[in-house]
Amino acid sequence: MLQKSVLQQQRAAYQPKLPSVLWGPVKMQLGQPTESVADQETVKSLFPCTYGMPEITFVENDTPDQPAEPINVGVILSGGQAPGGHNVISGLFDGIKSIHPDSRLYGFLMGPDGLVKHNYKELTGEIVDQYRNTGGFDIIGSGRTKLEKKEQFDAALEILKKLEIKAVVIIGGDDSNTNAALMAEYFKANNETIQVIGCPKTIDGDLKNEFIETSFGFDTATKVYSELIGNIERDCNSAKKYWHFIKLMGRSASHIALECALQTQPNYCLIGEEVEAKKLELHDIVLDLTRLVIARHEQGDDYGVVLIPEGLLLFAPAFKSLIEQLDAIMGDFKKEISLLDPDDKIHFMRSQMSNENLAMLDSLPQTLGRQLLLDRDSHGNVQLSLIDTEKLISQLVGQEITKINVRLKKENQIPFSTQLHFFGYEGRCAAPSNFDADYCYALGYNATKLIACGVTGYMSSVRNLTAPSSQWLAGGIPITMMLNIEMRNGVPKPVIRKALVDLEGRPFKDFAEQRETWAMNTCYVYPGPIQYFGPTEVCDQPSRTLQLEQNP
């Protein structure tokens, strides 16, 4: 039996709110046939059985949901942890039990690997009840295995048939939902009736579009980081002697950094998408920050707080070109490289690189260069969470300040003391905010409605999220609609297009309008911890990003 804190005991009693349309039986309202966001012909040819399906919106129905017999459903948690995953599972559990009390839920262990290797456990009411409204993915664990090969799908089919599973729900980010689309297509193409449904998860907030207003976990994670940043700002404003450089998770998009900036009003926040649009190089960023350090020094403020998105370096053109070439080499020589030991691998990779990219690589600290050449995740992504961008940037600014100090008299020296932080794992398993607790439960419950309707290759979609939860809309969106073709490891692949920060959108514009004031004045905001109880304005507010996006 898990030991529970007092807050956990309180949260266990929380009853997540469902959209009113999901309170009773539903029927599907079908929209127009859909197209993928880009590369339509190629995506269509790769997904002949699941391409072009219509959007689904649920409306209330007078007759009970089909089927009225028990159903068995499988569930997988895939990719990085995000607050609310357990609530998707509780929603699924309650949803299938509402269809029939003898329905069963099977959890595949440690991500997609559990499905392929047939590691699973039945999630009974007793187990699910232990995890309601808790953070983490520990109920069944998670993993990053990419499901894309025929052998994997066949192994999955074997266990799904053995357990008489009607549908499998993949709770994951863009890569994992791409897997869901591939599996749905494979099953349908082979006349297998097992359905595949996706659920939009990632703290990064980059799995969103017209029908997926936000991925779950973003709300809670950014609230946790904003609390921590606020605490640091207060320390910074008390001691007035440090520049704090804070890297924030978000492998590609800078949504987390932007949301935290809107919440906490730091002195400086980099947005990767702006760096790319303005074609800024690392050197330009360093010089701009150096100017700010000097300007604040001149008004007597030798301190400040700087937010840096994890994915920043990939937006700087020279760095990006370096990574793209490394990806291409990895793709072209995958087999040869896999046989080499690390030093030979580095030697080989270097021998294939252009002079410009070699120069860029050699301008970076040696450990970072080595990381870029060697460390990739199973999807072939550079592991940006392992790169100390905050250290790199603060050191480079420090070097600039040192150059200036050499020319200044002793009494005029510019002090520049730094503290480094990285917030990522601190927020990924926090107990879900009320918003995420409700949203996730609704996503899971809604997935069972999609299953009952017999559809496959859809993502559970709950929207109108800035309205009270009773007014949220529910339905499904074909995953193929979100696909485009991108290079992965040098090979073109169908993947869900990531939603990057929109520089024309309200969240960025609000930030851009205020950042100069925040830079020179100390306008820190201290949001404090997530509030689970209390006035609605305090505890039920979705992220600032979502509010600004929905009310442009």
Q: Is the peptide bond before 70 cis (omega within 30 degrees of 0)?
A: no
Sheet holding 26-33, edge to edge: 26-33, 54-60, 473-478, 458-463, 195-200, 165-172, 72-77, 104-108, 120-122
Rounded-to-5 percentages of helix, strand, coil across the chain:
50, 15, 35
Task: Give kind and range of the element (H or E) at residue 120.
Answer: strand 120-122
Residue from 312, 218, 244 nearest 274 by CA: 312
Q: How far is the CB of 131 from ligand FBP (least distance, A)?
A: 19
Cα 400–308–387 angle (5° rounding)? 85
Burial of 525: CB neighbours in 10 Å, binned 0-12, 13-18, 19+: middle
State how far the alpha carbon of 116 is from the alpha carbons of 154, 177, 189, 312, in Å. Answer: 8, 16, 19, 35
Amino acid in position 55: E
CB-nearer residue toward ligand FBP: 46 or 203 = 203
Instruction: Quickly list DSSP for 195-215.
Output: EEEEEEB-TT-----SS----
Q: How far is the CB of 494 from ligand FBP (least distance, A)?
A: 17
Residue from 181, 184, 174, 261 nearest 209 by CA: 174
Q: How far is the CB of 457 from ligand FBP (least distance, A)?
A: 20
Q: How far is the CB of 358 from ligand FBP (least distance, A)?
A: 26
Cα distance between residue 304 and residue 405, in whole Å:
19
Q: How far is the CB of 482 from ligand FBP (least distance, A)?
A: 14
**Strand ranges (E), 266-396:** 268-269, 304-309
CB-nearer residue toward ligand FBP: 80 or 266 = 80
C-alpha count within 13 angstroms, C-beta hemisphere, residue 449: 32
Q: How far is the CB of 421 from ligand FBP (least distance, A)?
A: 15
CB-nearer residue toward ligand FBP: 79 or 272 = 79
* Cα diameter, the chain: 84
Which residues bind to ligand FBP, rule: CB under 6 A?
79-80, 82, 173, 201-204, 249-251, 310, 384-385, 424, 428
CB-nearer residue toward ligand FBP: 53 or 181 = 181
Cα distance between residue 33 and residue 52, in whole Å:
5
CB-nearer residue toward ligand FBP: 212 or 249 = 249
CB-nearer residue toward ligand FBP: 152 or 202 = 202
Cβ neighbour number for residue 13 with a 10 Å cutoff: 8
CB-nearer residue toward ligand FBP: 275 or 384 = 384
Q: How far is the CB of 137 from ligand FBP (least distance, A)?
A: 10
Catalytic residues: 204
Contact between 261 and 435 under an 8 Å Cβ cutoff? The reply is: no
Query: Tokens for 488?
Result: 């992965």
